Every structure is written in C-alpha cells, then in structure tokens.
A = this chain, B = another copy of it.
Amino acid sequence: MIQGLQSIAFENSPYIVESASVVGKKEGEGPLGSMFDMVEENDLFGEDTWEAAESTMQKQACVLALGKAHMEAGEIRYLFGGDLLRQGVATSMGVEELNIPMFGLYGACSTSGEAIALASMSVAAGYGDNMLAVTSSHFGSAEKEFRFPLGYANQRPLSAHWTVTGSGAFVVGTKRSHVRVTGITVGKIVDYGLKDSQNMGACMAPAACDTILRNLEDFGRTPDDYNRIVTGDLGYVGQSILFDLMRGKNVDIKKNHMDCGMTIYDQKTQDTHAGGSGCGCAAVTLSSYILPKLARGEWKRILFVPTGALMSTVSFNEGESVPGIAHGIVLEHC
C-alpha cells in the first residue's frame, strides 16, 4: 500500500467511473472545444457575478458527471472539492444544493490532483463506493481575486497565464470502467524563492519536477513507463524550466511530456500568452481529452501532475515568495 517515501499504490485500485467538463466560450473555441461536455456561450452562466457564475458552472459539472454515471447525489458518500477564490466560496456555494457530506480543499491549481487523490484513498480504504472530486476556476473571478477586475483592461506580461473558465467533476468509485487510479504521489511545498506572481510557470516548475522525480523513484519507473507525463498548467515558460530542472537530474521527459495549459488554447490565435491555468485547466483537460484516450487504450498509463502556486494578494504584497506544490496521480487503462 505504502509505496516509497510519498506514494501510495492501491491494492484495490478505484475507477474513474465517469467525469464531466463544463467550460466557457473561449475554451469552447480552443483545440479541445468539441470534446467538452458543455460549452456555455455566456461566461456569466446566467448569474449576476463572476463568483456566482463559477459556482453554477461547478454545480453543472457535478450534476453532469452524476448523470453520465446514472447516479443520484445521494449515492455519493463524500465530496472533495475546491477552487481558487478566497475561502473557497465557489465550491461552498456551488455544491451546497447537492447535499453531499464534503471536504473543502485548497491546493491552488493542484487541487484537482488533491481531490482525486483523497477520493481515491477513501474509495480504496472502503469508506464508500462512490466519491465525487470537483474543482473549478473562472477567468473573471480569478482576475478579480488575484490581479485586477476585468473592467480595468490591464496589460498582461507574456509570462502571464490565462485562467481557464471551466470545471471538471469526477466520480471515483468501485464500479468498473476503463480507467483506474492505481497510485498517487502526494506533493511537498517547494520554494525556489521566486516572487513574480505573473510568472507562475516558473514558480510551479520546481514542484512539478520534485513530484515527478519522487513518483519515478517511489514506483521504480522511468519516464518511458508512462505514455504521457501530464502537468497541469506550467505553460510555455514553466515547461522549458521543468525540462532544464529534469535534465539537471539526468531525466529526460521531453518526448512524452504534455501540459494542459499548453493544450487547452491555441497560443497563436487565442492570445493566451504563457498558456491556460487555474483549478479548472487540468480538470477539464483530464475529463475531455486525457480520460477518453486512456479509456480507449490509446494510452496505457499516464502520470497526471496538476501544479499549484501558493500565494494570495496579501502574501504577494507583503513580499513573500510564491512556492509551488504538485500532486501526482497514476491513471491506467484497464
């Protein structure tokens, strides 16, 4: 069960029973557009505020995932969820109506990994047949939370990310599907002392490197044992730093690395600078693009490593650095 220093190898690996992705207009216009379960043309999702929009989007993702799994909310034993907003209000207000006992999480953009890890740990331990893992982010609410309200129309540096408007929900359970969570590697906080919150790829790359190396060591694997090593939202800047850091450890992941933040938008036409980011970025890419490939057997085994930058406007303004964290999830075709 315990695998190496930071990992768990599940004896009875839980399944990703079903999942759902709900995104905004811009994501719908990107390369993965046709793969999402639902694209909302109005980014307010029928609400009055960005925060309420994010909550509604997250609830829609949960309801869709449950529907695809032919389950009622009452069949889910525990929900693990989080978002980027202060005090996780998008999740609190989003999942409230589902009336499922819940654990609120915060792992910045690594939260989808954290939620799937805890859901898998709970299913594998026999604490229930079905858990729900959900995360979300919204461009409007995230810009307001971390940078400037959209109305300011501020300029963004090229190293900045574009927060994905999207929510991914995952039913993790004992019911057979074609994708299993066979192991997890829980990440540590890694701090290289970087202080530029507009260059989150650089802040998160060291954590991604740490978790990937730890996963390979804990499970006795090489990068070739994975069809893809998928980071969450390092983007173009973070990816090149990750490659440099890995090269320093004599590990080459160049040929099978993929980053959700570089996959979800077309950098040339969508003006998204360093790439997509946010709790929703890795979650909706996993649900719409990665899980189907695993289910079809195109990929046999991947390492999913969503990455988070740990900061707030207060910590940033007080001169604190921006440490990173990344959690690793091993997903296998079955």
- Residues of chain A having any CB pair with chain B under 8 Å: 1-2, 6, 8, 48-49, 51-52, 77-78, 82, 84-89, 92-93, 95-96, 99-108, 114, 117-118, 121-122, 124-128, 144-145, 186-189, 191, 310-315, 318, 320, 323, 325
Interchain residue pairs with CB less than 8 A apart (28)? A2-B77, A2-B126, A2-B127, A6-B101, A51-B320, A52-B318, A78-B186, A85-B312, A86-B87, A86-B145, A86-B312, A86-B314, A89-B320, A92-B310, A93-B315, A95-B189, A96-B189, A100-B188, A101-B186, A102-B187, A102-B188, A103-B117, A104-B105, A104-B310, A106-B106, A118-B118, A124-B125, A144-B314
Q: Which residues of B contact A107 (CB under 8 A)?
A: 103-104
A9 to chain B, nearest CB (A): 11
Docked-complex contact A311 and B118, CB < 8 angstroms: no
**Which chain B positions have C-beta within 8 A of A84?**
87
B312 engages A8 (CB within 8 Å): no
Indicate if the CB atoms of B114 and A104 lie closer than 8 Å. yes
Instruction: Provide the residues of chain B in CB contact with A85, threshold 8 Å.
Output: 312, 314
Contact B52 A92 (CB under 8 A): no
Bound form: Cα–Cα A258–B128 in Å? 31
CA distance A75 to B288 in the complex (A): 39
Question: In the complex, what's the smallest C-beta–C-beta distance from A306 to chain B, in angstroms?
Answer: 13
Contacts of A126 in B (CB 8 A): 1-2, 125
B89–A310 contact, CB under 8 A?
A: yes
CA–CA, A92 and B325, complex, Å:
10
B contact residues around A318 at 8 Å (CB): 48-49, 51-52
Complex contacts, A88 vs chain B, CB 8 Å: 106, 310
8 additional A-B pairs beyond A6-B77, A82-B106, A87-B108, beta carbons within 8 Å, are A1-B125, A2-B128, A87-B312, A88-B310, A89-B315, A92-B189, A102-B188, A121-B121
Contacts of A8 in B (CB 8 A): 127
Q: Are B102 and A189 in contact (CB under 8 A)?
A: yes
Q: Is there contact, CB below 8 Å, between B103 and A105?
A: yes
- Contact partner of A86 (CB less than 8 A), chosen from B6, B144, B313, is B313
